[in-house]
Every structure is written in C-alpha cells, then in structure tokens.
Amino acid sequence: MPGVNVRNFSIIAHVDHGKSTLADRILEHLGAMGERDKRDQTLDTLELERERGITIKSTPVRLNYTRPNGEQYVFNLIDTPGHVDFGYEVSRSLAACEGVLLLVDASQGVEAQTIVNAYLAIDSGLTIIPVVNKIDLPAADPEGAAQELEEVVGIPAEDAIFASGKTGAGVPEILEAIVERIPPPPGDPQAPLKALIFDSFYDAYQGVILFVRVLEGTVRAKDAVTLFNTGKDFEVDKVGTFTPGLIVSDVLAAGSVGWIAAGIKDIQDAQVGDTVTSREHPTLEPFPGFKPAQPVVFSGLYPTDTEDYRKLREALERLKLNDAAFSFEPETSEALGFGFRCGFLGLLHAEIVQERLEREFDLDLIATAPAVIYRITLTNGEVIVTQNPAEFPTRDRIELVEEPYIKMSVMLPEEHVGPVMQLLQERRGSMVTMNYMGKRVELVYQVPFAEILYDFHDRLKSISRGYASMDYEIIDYREGDLQKVDIYVNGEIVDALAVIVHESKAYSLGRKVVDKMAEVIPRQMWAVPVQAAIGGKIIARATVKAFRKDVLAKCYGGDISRKKKLLSKQKKGKARMKQIGTVEVPQEAFLAVLSTDE
C-alpha cells in the first residue's frame, strides 16, 4: 500500500475491563459503523460472546483514520479475549501487531491478567500504550490506576491516556497516540511473499479461509502459493480485509492484515502458525510459528445419540481449525459408547467448546468429569501418563502417582485476604509470597491443578464479592496420595463415572455421587445398590428402593402363616429377578451426575 501509513495493534486487558466497548467507540469515531449496524460488542461475532458478555475469539478489523492535519492512515485493529483460558488467542494476535492498547479499569486497577498480557506484549517486543478505561464510573480513580500500572508493570504513569468506552471520552487522544507511538510495520513489498497464518475458519463454499499478516511481499488473486510446513500448492481465489466482515480487495501488501481464500478443502493443510509463500519465488526463512498450545484439562465428549458419532468428528475437525488450542482423539466407554477425549486450556474453554458444538453443529452431547494429566510410576519402573480415570492402574501396580501443580496469582482488596487464604488452604495450596500494592494484595500460591477445576473460580468470586481476580501457570509435577474412585450400579462398574481424587476427599465425593445416582436411576422391582469403591473397598453406598406389589391386599384377617407364605414367595421372586435382571442407567442420570459442581 504505497503512500498509505499503516498501524497494526491489539487491545489487551483483564476480562471485563472494557476492550469490546472501547473498540465500539473507536469504530464509531472512525465511521466504520453505520446507524443500522450500531450495536454493543460489534467485534464479538459469536452469539455466545454476546450472551455471556465476554470475548472468546480475536476479531480483526481494518479502519481508515484521517488526522486533523489531513494525513491518511490505515489501522488494523484486533480485539482479543481477556480470560486466562483464551491466552493462546492473545499470543497469536500479538504476532500480527507492532503495538497494543493495554486497558486498565479505573475503579478496579491492575488485575492478574493485566500483568500477564502486559508481559506477553513486552516479550513480543511491542509498543504499549496504557489506557485507563471507565473513568466515568462513580468509584473511578484514574490517577491511582495509572500509578498502580507504573508500580506493578513499570509503565510510566504519565504515558497513560484516560478514556471511557461508554461515553467515548479520550478516543481522539488514543487514535493520535496510535499514530505517534506505534511504529509502522516493517517489510518490503518487493521481497518474496511471506505471510503468517494467525487464525482460520471453514467456509462451506470457499473451503478454509486463512487470516494472515503479510510480513513481506504481496499477494493477489490468481497467485500460486505454497504452505511452508505441508509443501502443498494452491491458487489464490480471493484476498481481502475485515470490516469486520470479509471484504474482497485487489491486493494484500507487506504490513497488511487480511484474509486469503485458496480453495483449501483439507482442514489439516491449514495450520495456524504456518507461513504462506510464493510458489515461484519462495521465501528462504518461514515465520518461526507458535509454540503449540498444551491442553491441561481433559474431558470425554459423547453424542447422546450414537448415530451422531461421525457428525461429531466432523464438527470437532472444523472447530479445531478455528480454535488451535483444542485437541481431541477417539475413545470408547462401555456406558456411553463411542466418543472423543478432548483437551482444553481450562474449564471455561471446555464449557465454550461444548456449547459451540451444540449450537453451531446441532449436536446433543454428554461431557464426562474433567481431569488433569497424571504421571504414574509402576512397580516395574515403567512411567505412564493418563488423564482418563478408566486407564488408571490398580493400586497393587502403582509405585507412586504425581499430579500437576500450578503457580497461582490472586489479586484482591486487603479486607478479603483472610477468607481467600482459607479457601486456598482447603484446596491443598501452599503460600509462596504475599505482596502489598497500595490498597490491593497479590497472593502467590502453589496449588494442585485438580483442586481448582470445578467450583474454585465461583467460590473465589463469591468470597471476595467479585473483586478477586486470578491467573495461573503450570509449574511441575509432585507426588500425591491420589485414589481412583469407582462407581458400581447393581454390582456392575460404570466406567464413565470413575474419578481420580485425593484420599482426603474420596469419601465426600463418593458420597455425593452415589446419593445423586440413587435419586436419578429409575426404580426397579428389586432394590438396586449404588456404591463408591476404592479398589475392593466400598466407601459409600445408597439404595434405589424397589417397587413393591401389595400381595396381602386380598388377605382379610385369617391365619398369619398364609401372609408369611405370600411374602416369602414374593421375596424369592425378587431375588431371582435380581440375579437375572440388569439395570439400564439412562442418559439423564449421567447428565445429572456429570453436570454437578463435583
């Protein structure tokens, strides 16, 4: 784009600090939204994002900006998620930028993800423009938030711009700062083509659409291109930019952010992090790519209707194209049939993937209890890793079991420190440090990852009245006293309900599961025992009461021996039915048990 000044930047922040709202005001100010298009969270294109009020996918958009002196600029803005589970989306988006707007809530100050995202930008060598947002709130303290940013992250307080995503205050100053502080993208339009794939999605008509940042050279329709990693050749059908919908353009040159459609039908050919180059004049060095995301939470996904298995596989393949941090492999369960073992970056990520599968691909799914990866050393010296409780070896074969530990940082107001420390200790956490930052405190703990999988985030928010925020990273594996709890129904093991848990919590968890199962399993003509066991030892039991026909209804008085005979005959009949009868555990029972907090 000769003669046109370009700026590529992302908006990063902690969850709910106003990224999408500020992006709306920037779009409005630059005339990118017509009156008919006006709506909140314009760049949140998924229905799920709008419902939950969070950003899940990074969304790029191209904007035109004219400075007061008449100079023309092109802005490529990428709105990113704030939640810790979607940090991989943020890191990929930053690779397509030269600078970031780092947002801080004027009333809440620096939060856990603010620090993580700031260091992500610093490590990527990007220019950071600090923006103190929500200055219109009654509890806002813009100067305090800017000072906190200087103390915690080291960004000078005087560099901060005060703004409001709601009223639009500060937006002109932000646009000028983008021009003045963020450098133009490097890259020679005459060099061989080198374009980084930072995202993609599947279109039923055009195949895989690649989201690219052009680092060197130019690309047009009809160009012959090669994907570096796979070596596959394609002819470009269309290229274009985002507004945020896909708009066809003539050319994408060095420094541009845009999309390429090249009739790529096989999803496996378009890997995020790959480099697109020219077939005739290929680049010598590809972009280093991205470190593959390592899933840390695993859960089984099964279709409630077994005939939907193939449909589920296709849906997972298409979703993986749009979400590179997610992984899956086939598995089977005696209780649930054929399904997939899926890996996620966290519990919210797992929830979002399941909801997207159900909505976008019209599937009805059952998810098994989430689990982390355990490392098991057997008595013969062999080391195995597993996240599936069904694959857990018997106790007599285990030498030791190791579980993943995380380093967790919790930022919260001083008055809530006591209850939060108690919560962390309940979850087997050990304190590393406690840092005071003005009126706020940072608690750093080492906690077993399995302990925060279920309801930890909800408990943290309720204890701190919504003010605490958390971030974590996996540090290492440590030995733990872990047990596999099996669930038996009528003496038969139900593999889908097996769970790995610390010995101190085995009884309470077993008790909850058997009580819940006893509520939801339909009654039979005989009493059905539901048991939780560790190895061969039963630790909890509940009974599904039997239906009982009143065989004495026709006995009006008379000899007691007649009544005893009828009752004895009924008892023998029930015992015989129990020997030959089987209990079908309905899908609703699995849904009821697996959807509980535990």
**Do 367 and 594 contact (CB within 8 A), yes or no?**
yes
CB 462 within 8 A of CB 416: no
HEC profile for 142-176? HHHHHHHHHHHHCCCHHHCEECCCCCCCCHHHHHH
Pick the CATH number of 5-181 from 3.40.50.720, 3.40.50.300, 3.30.450.80, 3.30.1330.90: 3.40.50.300
> What DSSP string describes 300-347?
EEEESSGGGHHHHHHHHHHHHHH-TT-EEEEEEETTTEEEEEEEESSH
Whole-Å CA distances, 79 to 94, 103, 168, 201, 246: 10, 12, 17, 17, 16
Instruction: Please indicate if the annotation marks 135 as binding a ligand.
Output: yes
Nearest to 334 by CA among 187, 450, 164, 497: 497
In sequence order, the β-bridge partners of residue 492 are 489
Copy the structure tokens of residue 383. Answer: 């080391």
Please, which residues have CB within 8 angstroms of residue 252's CB and are 6 or more apart in sequence? 195, 212, 214, 218, 219, 220, 239, 240, 241, 258, 260
- Closest Cα partner for 487 from 455, 518, 451, 526? 518
Q: How many helices (H) and strands (E) does the chain have?
A: 13, 31
Cis amide bond preceding 244, omega within 30: yes
Question: Is 136 annotated as a binding-site member?
Answer: yes
Looking at residue 211, its pLDDT comes to 84
SS3 state at 436: strand
Q: Are 98 and 9 in contact (CB under 8 A)?
A: yes
Q: Where are the domains of the chain?
A: 5-181, 194-278, 297-367, 374-479, 484-594
- Cα-to-chain-centroid distance, residue 341: 16
CA 67 to chain centre: 39
Q: Characterize the bridge pairing of strands 224-227 and 537-544.
A: unpaired
DSSP letter string, 437-505: ETTEEEEEEEEEGGGGSSSHHHHHHHHTTT--EEEEEEEEEEE--EEEEEEEETTEE-GGG-EEEEHHH
Global pTM? 0.66
Packing angle, helices 19-29 and 171-181, rounded to 10:
90
Q: Distance between CA atoms of 350 and 356, rounded to whole angstroms?
A: 10
Q: Is 133 annotated as a binding residue?
A: yes
Paired tokens of 147: 């000072």
pLDDT at 38: 47
323 is in an annotated binding site: no
Burial 213-233 (b: 16+ CB within 10 A, else e): bbbbbbbebebebbbbeeeee
Cα distance between residue 495 and residue 492, in whole Å: 9
19 is in an annotated binding site: yes
Q: What is the 3-state secondary structure (H, E, C) of 542-564?
A: EEECCCCCCCCCCCCCCCHHHHH
388 labelled binding-site residue: no
Fill in the amino acid letter for 179: V
Is residue 429 a known part of a binding site? Answer: no
Asked, colleague to colleague, whether 5-181 and 484-594 share their fold, the answer is: no
Domain 194-278 in this protein, CATH class: mainly beta
Q: So what's the pLDDT on residue 37?
A: 47
CATH 3.30.70.2570 holds for 484-594: yes
568 is in an annotated binding site: no
Going by C-alpha positions, the residue among 14, 77, 79 that lies closest to residue 49 is 79
Spatial separation of the C-alpha atoms in residues 596 and 509, rounded to whole Å: 11
Strand partners, 488: 493, 531
Please state which CATH number belongs to domain 374-479: 3.30.70.240
Answer yes or no: is 14 a known binding residue. Answer: no
Contact, 114 vs 128, CB < 8 A?
no
- DSSP result, 57-122: S-EEEEEEEE-TTS-EEEEEEEE---SGGGHHHHHHHHTT-SEEEEEEETTTBS-HHHHHHHHHHH
Q: Which amino acid is at 323?
A: D
Q: Do strands 440-448 and 337-344 pair parallel, antiparallel, or not at all (unpaired)?
A: unpaired
Strand partners, 470: 410
Contact assessment for residue 178 and residue 129, using Cβ atoms and an 8 Å cutoff? yes
If you classify domain 297-367 with CATH, what class do you get?
Answer: alpha beta
Q: Between helices 112-123 and 87-94, what is the axis angle to 10°? A: 30
Q: So what's the pLDDT on residue 78?
A: 77
Q: What are the φ and ψ backbone dihedral angles of 446, each rounded to 5 degrees?
A: -105, 125
3-state secondary structure of 428: coil
The answer on whether 281 is annotated among ligand-binding residues is no
pLDDT recorded at residue 1: 42
Q: In terms of residues, how long is the chain?
A: 598
Q: What's residue 50's pLDDT?
A: 44
Residue tagged 């492999």 (tokens): 329
Which token pair is 504? 């101190």
CA distance 87 to 377: 32
Contact between residue 354 and residue 339 where contact means Cβ atoms under 8 Å apart: no
Kindly give, in sequence order, each residue whose CB lies less than 8 Å from that of residue 483, ignoring residues fewer than 6 positions away: 395, 500, 501, 502, 503, 506, 534
Reduce the DSSP state of residue 35 to 3 states and report it: helix
pLDDT of the chain, 598 residues: tens digit per residue: 443 588 888 888 877 677 778 888 888 888 765 444 444 444 444 454 444 445 545 567 888 888 888 888 888 887 666 555 555 556 667 777 888 888 888 888 787 778 878 888 888 888 989 888 888 888 788 888 888 888 888 888 888 888 887 788 888 888 888 888 888 888 788 888 888 887 777 777 888 888 888 888 888 888 888 887 777 888 888 888 877 677 888 888 888 888 888 888 876 777 777 788 888 887 777 777 656 666 777 778 888 777 888 888 888 887 776 666 778 888 877 667 788 888 887 777 777 788 888 888 888 887 777 777 888 888 888 888 887 777 788 777 888 888 888 888 888 888 888 888 888 888 888 888 888 876 778 888 988 888 877 667 778 877 877 777 777 777 888 888 888 888 887 777 777 777 788 888 778 878 887 887 777 777 666 677 888 888 778 888 887 777 666 656 567 666 777 677 777 776 666 555 544 445 555 555 555 555 544 4
Residue 270 DSSP SS3: coil
